[in-house]
Amino acid sequence: MKRAGRVTYALMSFAMLFATTACTANRGSLYVQSMTMAGKTQLPAGEYTVQWEGAGPDVELKIKLHNRVKATVPAKVTPLDQPLREDAAVLNTDGNGSIVTLPPLSSQAPLIPDAAVAAYGTLTLGIGTETNNQPPVGLAVCDTGHGGDLNTVFDGTTLGSSYLDTGTDVLSFSSYSATGLPACASPNTGFYCPAHTTSFSAVISGRTIGSSSITFPVGNAATYLASNPGQPDPYALDAIAEPGSRRTFVWGGPFFFGRSVYIAIDGSTTILGPGPYFAF
């Protein structure tokens, strides 16, 4: 998937990197890239230290900032046959999935319609395990293959290798000829550039259960990517798209704005049913 020039999404990442030594076997470092939840505590972005006591398997993990405990969560120490290059944490109660929530881009100080300097949201760990991660009634629960693939029906064609991905900057689907949308001129070649924002619809469905009809806009990528003197460049876009492959509809970053998407891990048990699935 090619990157969209200056378009990059710094979506929620919760990476635990425990670089331990023999002298600090029960200590490590934790980098939180964006605001996220640790149990019932909201952690701002920043560098933290983590500490636990005992050999496990069940331990209490303390997350510290400037030597002050900011959050305490249950964790599990898991013995491995081969050591990892980096230590890892296994969530004991909130490890069945996560919830990605991005407010509508219109609420995040856009420079122009569908384009903002940055976007902010939350990543909540667990599905139905805490008071803050209970799913609402009426979600479409779409089960996926083991690789996270599901179906999208667009323009009467079923695209069986479709997927949802916060790490992809754009929507990627169909072709110039099938959509009737023109291509952008250089230096923004490779994107759709309609004269006016155009609405499309598609149906996302699971492998065996769940479906939801989605209406989405496609705007002029050249307008979004243009540099405006005296203004910062827009890095968050909710109506940018490019042609895709014949069997795939990539629901990238623009899909997530204005939604909470529940992502269940393969083999997990959740209040909405077994993983893997996407629910929204």
Which domains are delineated in the chain?
14-94 (no CATH), 98-279 (2.40.70)
pLDDT confidence bin for 15, thresholds 50/70/90: very low
28 pLDDT higher than 80:
no
pTM: 0.72
**pLDDT by residue (tens digit) across 119-155?**
888 989 999 999 999 999 999 999 999 889 999 999 9
pLDDT confidence bin for 73, thresholds 50/70/90: confident
Supply 77's token pair: 């120490």
Report percent pLDDT > 70 for the chain: 81
Provide the pLDDT for residue 78: 65
> Distance (Å, rounded) from C-alpha 124 to C-alpha 38?
8
Beta bridge partners of 60: 74
SS3 9: coil
